[in-house]
């Protein structure tokens, strides 16, 4: 099977600081891949470069065999890469339903349309996609609430609903359960399992029990480098990974010269 999303020598530098250095990474269709690592390992930067928030400094990104390294964020959304943010990134003044409608409209309409004489309400496909996404996240009950008034957990789930409303093939989830209550986190975990049956999911998360339980495979980042990639079991037993997480940097640094 050929990779759905892959990077070669992907680097992102801020001044002299390399947040991501020479990352070779590849995900198969349908995989649920976790990206883990200690704080400052470059996980969020990696997602930002994959999603198109910030351009790569070097290296290439290929999606379905196509070079998307220089495609802007909105182009990647239309190719099928969607993202839920670390801090829920919403339209706080709008209702929950309108948040999902914006996303569905973006997907149905495309990057730009000079539709100055017609309302989006004529597009039944938009309403349908928005309602479907809300239903999946069990947000239909609060659909008419102003989303700024939602609880933290509901905001995070609405952010995922927005990503889903663009009907992606790859979903990037940046710490989806961070800050959630135990119940909310459990509900979200079940949802991620269900989503993983339909699409490729990349997930950054600090909750190790969650990660070990749901991932098909795990990539460990450390100081901007890929430290290891493997099944949860392989990663758990990898001494270099243990070393990195226990705070000893020497061995990891040795490994990368």
Partner 1 sequence: MSAADVGAVSLARRRRSVLAVHDLRFVALTVLGLAAFPFVLHALGGYSGLATQILLTGIAAIGFNLLLGYAGMLSYGQAMFYGGGGYVAGIVATRFAGGHPNLWLAVLAAVVTTALLAFCVGLLVTRLYGIYFALLTLAFAQMVFFVVEQARDWTNGDDGMQNVPTVGMPFFGSTIDLNTGLPALDLGPFGNLSDVKLWYVFAALVTLLVLWFTRVLVRSQFGEVLGAIRENEERSTFVGFSPRLYRLAAFVIAGALGGLSGALRALFDATVPIDSVGIDRSGSFVIFTIVGGVQTIFGPLVGTGVIMYLQNVISGKTDAWRLIEGLIFVLVIVFLPSGIVGTLLKRRRTRKQLLDTVKATP
Residues that bind partner 1 (CB under 8 A): 51, 53, 72-74, 77-78, 82-83, 89-94, 102-103, 105-107, 109-124, 127-128, 130-132, 134-135, 140, 162-163, 165-166
Nearest approach in angstroms of CB 214 to partner 1 is: 24
Kindly tell me which of 164 and 185 has the beta carbon lying closer to partner 1: 164
Q: What are phi and psi of 85, to 5 degrees?
A: -90, 160
Tokens of 180: 């959630």
Give the C-alpha separation, 121 to 45, whole Å: 37
- Which one, 61 or 77, has the nearer CB to partner 1? 77
Element spanning 7, H or E: strand 5-14
Question: What is the closest distance, in whole angstroms, from the C-beta atom of residue 245 to partner 1 in the complex?
Answer: 31
Phi, psi of 22 (to 5 degrees): 50, 55
Least Å distance between CB 7 and partner 1? 19
Look-up: residue for tokens 């809300």? 134
Query: Which tokens sit at 129?
Result: 């996609």
Nearest distance in Å: CB 128, partner 1: 5
- In this complex, which beta carbon is closest to partner 1, that of residue 83 or of residue 157? 83
In the complex with partner 1, which residue's Cβ is closer, 84 or 214? 84
The residue (of 17 and 112) whose beta carbon lies closer to partner 1 is 112
**Looking at beta carbons only, is 49 or 103 nearer to partner 1?**
103
Please tell me the number of Cα atoms within 13 Å of 205 on its side-chain side: 28
Q: How far is the CB of 145 from partner 1 (least distance, A)?
A: 16
The CB-of-100 to partner 1 minimum distance in angstroms stands at 10
Strand ranges across the sheet with 66-67: 17-27, 5-14, 58-63, 66-67
DSSP label at 95? B
Neighbours of 211 (CB within 10 A): 19
* Nearest CA-CA partner of 152 in 178, 132, 186: 178
């Amino acid at each position: 099977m050929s990779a759905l999303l892959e990077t070669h020598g992907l680097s992102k530098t801020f001044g002299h600081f390399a947040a991501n250095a020479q990352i070779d990474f590849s995900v198969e269709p349908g995989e649920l891949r976790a990206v883990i690592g200690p704080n400052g390992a470059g996980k969020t930067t990696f997602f930002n470069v994959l999603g198109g928030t910030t351009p790569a400094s070097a290296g290439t990104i290929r999606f379905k065999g196509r070079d998307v390294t220089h495609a802007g964020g909105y182009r990647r959304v239309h190719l099928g890469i969607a993202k839920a943010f670390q801090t829920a990134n919403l339209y706080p003044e709008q209702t929950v339903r309108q948040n999902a409608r914006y996303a569905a409209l973006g997907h149905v309409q495309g990057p730009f349309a000079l539709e100055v004489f017609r309302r989006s309400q004529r597009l039944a496909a938009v309403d349908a996609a928005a309602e479907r996404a809300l239903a999946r996240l069990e947000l239909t009950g609060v659909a008419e609430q102003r989303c700024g008034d939602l609880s933290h957990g509901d905001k995070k789930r609405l952010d995922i609903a927005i990503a889903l409303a663009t009907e992606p093939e790859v979903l990037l989830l940046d710490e989806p359960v961070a800050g959630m209550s135990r119940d909310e986190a459990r509900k979200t975990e079940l949802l991620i399992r269900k989503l993983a049956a339909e699409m490729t999911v990349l997930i950054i998360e600090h909750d190790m029990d969650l990660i070990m339980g749901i991932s098909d495979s795990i990539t460990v980042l450390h100081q901007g480098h890929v430290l290891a990639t493997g099944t949860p079991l392989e990663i758990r037993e990898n001494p270099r990974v243990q070393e990195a997480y226990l705070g000893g940097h020497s061995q990891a640094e040795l490994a990368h010269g």
